[in-house]
Amino acid sequence: MTLVILAFLVQSGPLRAESQEPSTGPNDTLLMFVGEDLEVLSIASRRQESAWQAPAVAHVITREDMKDRGIQTLSHALEMEPGFYMAKKEWGTQPYLRGIPDSVLFLYDTVPTGSDISKSLHPLDHELSLAPIKRIEILRGPGSVLWGPDAFAGIVNMVPMTGKDLEGAETGILYGSPGNQRGFYANMGHDAGLWDAFLSVSGHEGRQNDPDFNVVRFWKDDTTAFPPEQRYGRKSPDDSRYLEASGRFSYGDWLTVSGLFSDYQKNYTMTRAEGDFSWGESRNAPFGFIKLEAKKNLDRSSALRFTGSYSSLNPEYEIIDKTLKQKERTAYGEIIYDRSFLSGKGLFTGGLSYRNKEIGDAPIWNGYLPDYLGPENRNLLPGVTAKDYNASLWSVFGQYNQKVGNVDLLVGLRNDAHDEYGNHLSYNVGAVWSPEPQWMMKLLYGVAYRTPFARQLLEEGQPDMEEIKTLNLQVAWKPSPQAGLSVTGFVSRIEKHIMEDPYAGLSLPNQQNITGLEIEGHFSPVKSLDFSANLTLQDNDGPSETYHYNDFSFVRPDGTVVKHYTDLTYPYDRGPGALFNLTGTWRPVERVTAFLRLGYFSERNLIFPRSAEIRSVPGVWLLDMSTTIRDIGIHGLDLELSVRNLLDRDYETPGTYGLIQGDPATVWVALRKRW
């Protein structure tokens, strides 16, 4: 890998500043004359383009949007987007997109942030700070052709700032209540013309909204549990802590080095379904990467790009008094060739990539922990086994866009050759038609795959990959910058669908059909007032999930171990069937911005293996608000006040084993200063 990088850099040399990207045709210039905003994203075609024209159902959340709305975390940002449901769990946030849990490929500066050990390990809360983020790029629909496995139901890319975005410094302090939550950040940037650099440091500390717990010790040693008389007491979770540093250095338009390090410890309380026993857990998953990008313009119509990255993830879980440590190491390299044809009317993007992932101590549970915590169990422990494995993936991919009149046609193909599971072809086709500048119609079809759970690789030899096929039809109308409406219908079919419960194991392969409708629009009656709304309706059809669960075992007189199995069956969990957001932004004067959001998610079910019943909770309406006052007293000093759940609605939501309380009214105050 090192030799490849060095050879590439030697051949590249300093490049001209012009022609950074192959031309995509004259229609890009037209955007400036039809009132289309110039916000761009890069994840739809691996090049910068307008979300309006991109061959994808796409949207961009800008840094200004995040500040105006009082957004503190990535989950706060996504819960206002069509199709997304951010499910609160004891340990954090579980994302649903278009009725599919844990189905989004999350990227930071195009580097994946997820885990192969646990599909639910997502940095959606304070694990990754929004302080250095310039924009959040969102794609709804499969994206495996250009991004590989796990770009399943969609992609979210957090784009950090560069030295060209900030000349000087920006600092901020934050305080939130309840929980005595404190935070800070410092951003520093410099643009020297030929080179630019950016550095960010941030931290957060405070208590989550978690109750006390009564199981304070359990693992006496590796083979024996503490007896019940020594097992119980009363404790509170400690404060959670988060720390992050990131940076980026660019030389011209041909060399960029960036990196990130994030460390945290999140403490929380888990409760048994019956509600009688609760225990403390903590989650700590230091994550970091270093990334190198290099580019050589071959001529005015073609370019060669190289990306290499190395990332490290070290999840650590403390369950009562037992600590489980894992590790993931990922080395990745890719070379991409871009070429435009026919005066920019055609664009080809093709590449070759290699990924090696090393997994250490992936845990496999052989017992159901909550059953062991009661006084009827004197000294038995649930079994847990740690295993290692290594997986390599070679991929070759290509995508071609061709403009024919006012229609953009798209076709893409990717072959993934993995040493642990069979080869798979991902593909997409589509058409983007703009009959008039204010109208846009997109018909898109894509096929994507999801990397197997670690448990599948360890238990099933060469497992089948989960597959999704999605058809999107979007019609958008934007008569002016002050008004717009978009309607998107989608149909997804999931094959070989598998879920994992940490104790019951893997569900049997399944298939589901999911249909949905996403409606979104915005309207500005006057320059100082903006309204927007979105509505998502979705439903699913398919058989129930089934776990073939080893509920008990016994030993015969001859020493033979006999396992008894039972089938656990429950409905597919698609989350809420309806999601709604209504927002308003008011700027009465230049220095003041007020934001209000009314959000709704419909009935949800508590579904988990071993439960004898399905518990449902009704839908909830929640009101959030935020106010920003700029240049308070001195130039560059801004005050932000935001309140989530403004009316302090008391509601329940599905947790891991039982229902848990939703977040109460939470107040955030932030002071920001530009230097």
313-332 per-position pLDDT tens digit = 999 999 999 999 999 999 99
In sequence order, which residues have a C-beta less than 8 Å from that of residue 610 and are 6 or more positions away? Answer: 368, 503, 504, 549, 568
Distance CA 318, CA 505 (A): 20
Pairing verdict, β 232-235 and 424-433: unpaired
How many other C-beta atoms can be found within 10 angstroms of the C-beta atom of residue 194?
10
pLDDT higher than 70, residue 585: yes
Alpha helix ranges (H) inside 86-155: 144-147
Tokens representing residue 104 in the block: 């989004």
Mean pLDDT of the chain: 88
How many other C-beta atoms can be found within 10 angstroms of the C-beta atom of residue 422?
11
- Among 8-22, 176-190, 387-401, which is the least confidently predicted range? 8-22
Distance CA 243, CA 287 (A): 11
* φ/ψ bin of 670: left (φ > 0), alpha (ψ from -120 to 50), beta (otherwise): beta
Tokens representing residue 612 in the block: 């004898």
Strand, helix or coil for residue 455 = helix
Q: What is the DSSP letter of 377?
A: -
Pairing verdict, β 545-555 and 40-41: unpaired
In sequence order, which residues have a C-beta less than 8 Å from that of residue 517 and are 6 or more positions away? Answer: 487, 488, 489, 490, 535, 536, 537, 538
Q: Which one of 45-49, 219-223, 502-506, 625-629 scores highest in mean pLDDT?
A: 625-629
pLDDT higher than 50, residue 29: no
Distance CA 72, CA 83 (A): 20
Contact 133, 156 (CB under 8 A): no
| pLDDT band, residue 513 (cuts 50/70/90) | very high
pLDDT higher than 90, residue 503: no
The better pLDDT of the pair 363, 543 is held by 543
Report the DSSP beta bridge partners of residue 559.
Answer: none
> What's the residue count for the chain?
675
Q: What is the predicted pLDDT for the residue at 26? A: 34
Strand, helix or coil for residue 512 = strand
Averaged pLDDT, 495-513: 81
**Share above pLDDT 70 across residues of the chain, in percent, rounded to a whole number:** 92
Structural domain that includes position 362? 2-674
Distance CA 359, CA 394 (A): 18
Contact 547, 567 (CB under 8 A): yes
Domain count, the chain: 1
Nearest-5° angle of CA 136, CA 58, CA 97?
A: 80
**Share above pLDDT 90 across residues of the chain, in percent, rounded to a whole number:** 67
Tokens representing residue 408 in the block: 């953009």
Contact 618, 124 (CB under 8 A): no
Q: What is the predicted pLDDT for the residue at 83? A: 96
The better pLDDT of the pair 369, 467 is held by 467
Report the DSSP beta bridge partners of residue 43.
Answer: none
Q: What is the DSSP letter of 56?
A: S
How many other C-beta atoms can be found within 10 angstroms of the C-beta atom of residue 367?
14
pLDDT higher than 90, residue 668: yes
> Which position has the token pair 């208590």?
207
Q: Which one of 212-221, 505-514, 546-555 scores highest in mean pLDDT?
A: 212-221
CATH number of the structural domain spanning residue 302: 2.40.170.20
> Which position has the token pair 């999930």?
545
> Which position has the token pair 């600092």?
171
Give the DSSP H or E segment for 184: strand 181-191
Distance CA 299, CA 295 (A): 12
Contact 406, 435 (CB under 8 A): yes
Contact 507, 54 (CB under 8 A): no
Q: What is the predicted pLDDT for the residue at 610? A: 63
593-604 tens-digit pLDDT:
999 999 999 999
| pLDDT band, residue 609 (cuts 50/70/90) | low
Q: What is the predicted pLDDT for the residue at 38? A: 52
How many other C-beta atoms can be found within 10 angstroms of the C-beta atom of residue 102?
20
Q: What is the predicted pLDDT for the residue at 422? A: 73
pLDDT higher than 60, residue 451: yes
Among the listed residues 470, 354, 375, the one whose alpha carbon sits nearest the alpha carbon of residue 417: 354
Q: Classify burial at 306, counting beta carbons within 10 Å of its beta carbon; exposed 0-12, middle 13-18, buried 19 or more.
A: buried
Q: Classify burial at 568, counting beta carbons within 10 Å of its beta carbon; exposed 0-12, middle 13-18, buried 19 or more.
A: buried
pLDDT higher than 60, residue 617: yes
Averaged pLDDT, 490-505: 82
105-148 tens-digit pLDDT:
999 999 999 887 777 788 899 999 999 999 999 999 999 999 98
| pLDDT band, residue 671 (cuts 50/70/90) | very high
Distance CA 241, CA 229 (A): 33
Query: What is the identity of the amino acid at 666?
Result: T
Q: What is the predicted pLDDT for the residue at 308? A: 97
Distance CA 61, CA 73 (A): 13
Averaged pLDDT, 613-631: 93
